[in-house]
Amino acid sequence: MDVSHLLEELNEAQREAVTVDQGHVLVLAGAGSGKTRVLVHRLAWLIQVKHLSPLSVLAVTFTNKAAGEMRERTQALLRVSTRPLWIGTFHSIAHRLLRIHWREAGLQEHFQIIDSDDQLRLVRRIIREEGLDENQFPPSQIQWYINARKDEGQRPSSIEHMDHPLTATWVHVYGRYHAYCERAGLVDFAELLIRAHELWLNEPAVLAHYRKRLTHLLVDEFQDTNTIQYAMIRLLAGDSGEVFVVGDDDQSIYGWRGARVENVQFFVRDFPQVRTVRLEQNYRSTGTILSAANALIAHNEGRMGKRLWTAAGEGQPIRVYAAFNEHEEARFVIERIEHWLAEGRRAEEAAIVYRTTAQSRLFEEQLLRASIPYRVYGGLRFFERAEVKDALAYLRLLQNPNDDAAMERVINTPNRAIGQKTVAMLRAQARESGLPLWQAAGESIRQELLPGRARNAVAGFMELILAMRERMGDWTLGNQMQGVIEQSELARHYEKESREKMEARVENLQELVNAAESFILPAEDEEAGLSPLQSFLSHAALEAGETQGADWDDCVQLMTLHSAKGLEFPLVFMAGMEDGLFPHQRSVQESAGRLEEERRLCYVGMTRAMEQLYLSYAEVRRQYGSESYSRPSRFLDEMPTELLQEIRPRMATHRPYPGARPTAADPVDLPFRLGQAVRHRQFGEGMVVNFEGSGEHARVQVNFHQAGSKWLVLAYANLERA
């Protein structure tokens, strides 16, 4: 069989990785080195050359997006259906296992996945019920603790150091929370993994079955695996499975949520005769960008070692811009983007990346003012919106009335006169009798434990749910969704909000109905015995959907450094390059390891840039209401100066007080006076109102009649006297 198409597009290292004949493989894939390509070609190689059944391959990723991309590209390469291939996230794979083996895993048949928001509500409820002080035991902190323990594979009973009073309380809440979930048939994200791991651990027959079937494992983004995920890989591989992992220790940026870079080193230690292949040729960035990134990351210790290179040219220097403050920084960035656009480049080719989400606001304001379309990554996703979750909670309740999280959510949404007091009584009843909320409510009514009005209200709610279930049991998913929204009168709940908000919510609910109508039960869910409703609910939790509706056509991209991982842009701005902000103060304080992770974050950011990279910082930044002066990021010092070009030299001394700008009094050799009328190619006519800097760095502030006030670098702006 001719397999040249599998190899001809690959470089030597990529080819080596793809064609390793047997045994375990570790691919250290640098940024932009064709990691996904190797993974996909390896998959195709196993099937077409090694004649492996598609059924015996398991490919694992971290995000649904990555899984989808891998499937798509494999499909394009193999030109056969990829249906039988098991490609998915750790969580989706664990989910599938648990659906098939729910009994062996000790789960309820119709268990429901809860997202972190549901989880937090449950934890908060338990903390209150236990009579704990929420200030002393913040729910989010305990939620974090529970997930961290689960990610380490620990159960309340297996946690030592109970002698510490704080820890003891945390473990206690973990135990209570777990009992709640068991009773209500709820499974959180971390539980999916630990439960699947326990399933394999405790049921040798099940493990043996999957070991026999899944003989080849492929793992993407291996440096992001946590303890339990690595344990799952080891367990499934056993002595005979072959494991092919791809990762980059220099791009490990999720240590703070449990990812263990050490797994990369453990892999070489734990698996026999691992073949290590380095992908160091970069197909993305210029030589300058790579040299600076290499120099930066060299400051980290204990690396596996890797040096990116490119066959492309050196490209332009990296521009460093020292802004006076964060407003001026944003103005500078937007001005450079305008310049980029004026050159005929596209907005979507430009990305502004920053360390903290709060930094996006200033850039948004400036982009808005400049009428440049933009898109901010992150934020609420479709299935996380309140109205969508409300509607889904009704469906969850139809499917499983013992779902306490769902019941809490909708018992008084929309308002049906079931207030805090009534709900508290029901909770107390549930707690006393050890029953789910739904059953406790039934008991309370039967035993007449509630005052008359509350009793009627609760009974009315229960009847509503029962009636919906009765009526809609055999309806299609779309009709069920529509029915639930109508009969629950959910829209009523949002009527009091502003018209704009309400319209958006109604639109989202309609979109939810559309999603339900067009939902097709995936074959693997059908095999696992899921109803369309169960499957839909699981998908809603497991893949919360796009951040924003449809991608706008041609937008400047705004995102945190974390969400930039895996992406690439011709023009990249890294903003807020200040010590304290980036590296973040907390990371600096916490440990040397955390600082190294920040450095990797910087490395990730830099290697997103294909053609041009700008690094900017503000000398003064207003933060938490007060102004703070900060040094430029230490990471700037770690890049070779000859690769950097300061666009405006840093001020030798700080200005006497923040915000003071040079005025016409400054000895500046400008062709314009204050009040001078000027003309700009793009912005039209305006008047000079301020100056700063000198020589090629001189800037003027112009009040344009149409475009408003703008700071322009004289050297670029091409201003004419009007």
Partner DNA sequence: TCCATTGACGTTTTT
Partner DNA sequence: CGTCAATGGA
Residues that bind DNA (CB under 7 A): 62-65, 89, 91-92, 115-116, 124, 135, 189-190, 256-257, 355-358, 361, 377-378, 412, 415, 417-420, 496, 542-544, 547, 559-560, 562-563, 584, 586-587, 590, 594, 598, 622, 624-625
Residues 6+ apart with CB under 8 A from 480: 395, 398, 472, 516, 533
Residue 131 CB-density burial (10 A; 0-12 exposed, 13-18 middle, 19+ buried):
exposed
> Tokens standing for 617?
């910082």
User: Whose CA is closest to 441, among 480, 394, 472, 401?
Assistant: 401
Coil, helix or strand at residue 560 = strand
Give how far the C-alpha of residue 344 lies from the chain's centroid of Cα atoms, to the nearest Å. Answer: 32
From the list 154, 223, 225, 251, the catalytic residue is: 251
Active-site residue, 220 included: yes
**279 within 8 A of 17, measured Cβ to Cβ:** yes
Q: Least distance (Å) from DNA to the CB of residue 204? A: 27
- Residue whose CB is less far from DNA, 478 or 583: 583
- Residue whose CB is less far from DNA, 118 or 338: 118
Active-site residue, 446 included: no
From the list 220, 242, 525, 598, the catalytic residue is: 220
**593 within 8 A of 261, measured Cβ to Cβ:** no
CA dist list (Å): 317 to 289, 328, 337, 613, 710: 8, 22, 17, 8, 26
From the list 15, 19, 36, 685, the catalytic residue is: 36
Q: Least distance (Å) from DNA to the CB of residue 319? A: 24
Cis before 658 (ω within 30): no
* CA 237/CA 250 separation, integer angstroms: 26
Q: Least distance (Å) from DNA to the CB of residue 403? A: 19
User: Whose CA is closest to 152, among 86, 216, 226?
Assistant: 226
Q: Which parts of 42-142 are beta strand (E)?
A: 57-61, 86-89, 112-113
- Residue whose CB is less far from DNA, 346 or 562: 562
For residue 705, which amino acid is it?
H
Q: Least distance (Å) from DNA to the CB of residue 162? A: 26
Residue 85 CB-density burial (10 A; 0-12 exposed, 13-18 middle, 19+ buried):
buried
Q: Least distance (Å) from DNA to the CB of residue 496? A: 5
- Residue whose CB is less far from DNA, 83 or 361: 361
Residue 448 CB-density burial (10 A; 0-12 exposed, 13-18 middle, 19+ buried):
exposed
- Residue whose CB is less far from DNA, 256 or 552: 256
Coil, helix or strand at residue 54 = helix
- Residue whose CB is less far from DNA, 259 or 698: 259
- Residue whose CB is less far from DNA, 157 or 420: 420
Q: Least distance (Å) from DNA to the CB of residue 486? A: 20
From the list 69, 118, 221, 250, the catalytic residue is: 221
Q: Least distance (Å) from DNA to the CB of residue 598? A: 6
Active-site residue, 608 included: yes
CA dist list (Å): 715 to 676, 695, 719: 17, 9, 9
Q: Least distance (Å) from DNA to the CB of residue 563? A: 5
- Residue whose CB is less far from DNA, 357 or 676: 357
Active-site residue, 221 included: yes
For β-strands 699-704 and 708-713, DSSP reports them as antiparallel
Give how far the C-alpha of residue 196 lies from the chain's centroid of Cα atoms, to the nearest Å. Answer: 23
Catalytic residues, by residue number, are: 35-36, 220-221, 251, 608
